[in-house]
Amino acid sequence: MRKVILYIAASIDGYIARPDGGIDWLSMVEKEGEDYGYGAFLASVDTTLMGRKTYDDVLGFGGPFPYQKLSNYVFSRQERGPDDNPVQHITEDPAAFVKKLKAGPGGDIWLIGGGQLNTVLLNAGLIDVLILSVIPIVLGAGIPLFGGQPKEAKWRLAGHQAFDTGLVQMKYERG
């Protein structure tokens, strides 16, 4: 069965973006020649999942859509017509859709976010692995890693790495 992997960065106080969706603070750990395993991770997945706001944020980065060669699903509560990017807009229940997706053929699935979608899939028990990169900043407010009402879930530490930029990356597997 395919695994859903939440691969994401958060501030020390648990925010994945500023209140306005800004992620400019991620640049504080940029270092030439260091991608924190992102390239290898990206090569290991064939599918992405993201909420509509996250999708809009990705489009706001400028340049071409970064996941051209992957199967991409964007979840929204409102119908949205096709656009120029290789994405499918999904309005059905995310948990039911992802459960079917996991049972089908293919490789691992990257849950890009955001916070609301993270919580829906967490509460449904559909996230198998959490790779969390903690950035050494306290934002004080913003979009939480898990928005809404996340249920208690136990995880097992499967690995960790600290970098000289202050970023600490932890890999957790469902406990």
- 98 near 126, Cβ under 8 Å? yes
Please tell me the predicted confidence (pLDDT) of residue 166: 98
Q: Measure the CA–CA gap between 15 and 147, rounded to whole angstroms.
A: 10
Please tell me the predicted confidence (pLDDT) of residue 48: 98
CA-wise closest residue to 9 among 54, 45, 75: 54
Q: How many domains does the chain have?
A: 1
Please tell me the predicted confidence (pLDDT) of residue 11: 98
Please tell me the predicted confidence (pLDDT) of residue 24: 95
169 backbone dihedrals φ, ψ, rounded to 5°: -110, 130
Q: Measure the CA–CA gap between 1 and 108, rounded to whole angstroms.
A: 9
Could you read off the pLDDT of 76-112 as tens digits, one per residue?
998 888 889 999 999 999 999 999 999 999 999 999 9
Please tell me the predicted confidence (pLDDT) of residue 76: 94
Segment-wise mean pLDDT, segments of 10 residues, the chain, 175 residues: 97 96 96 97 98 92 92 93 91 97 97 96 98 98 96 97 98 95
- Domain extent at residue 137: 4-174
Please tell me the predicted confidence (pLDDT) of residue 80: 84
Please tell me the predicted confidence (pLDDT) of residue 81: 80
Q: Measure the CA–CA gap between 68 and 107, rounded to whole angstroms.
A: 16
Please tell me the predicted confidence (pLDDT) of residue 132: 98
User: What CATH number is given to the structural domain containing 51?
Assistant: 3.40.430.10
Please tell me the predicted confidence (pLDDT) of residue 119: 98
Please tell me the predicted confidence (pLDDT) of residue 121: 98
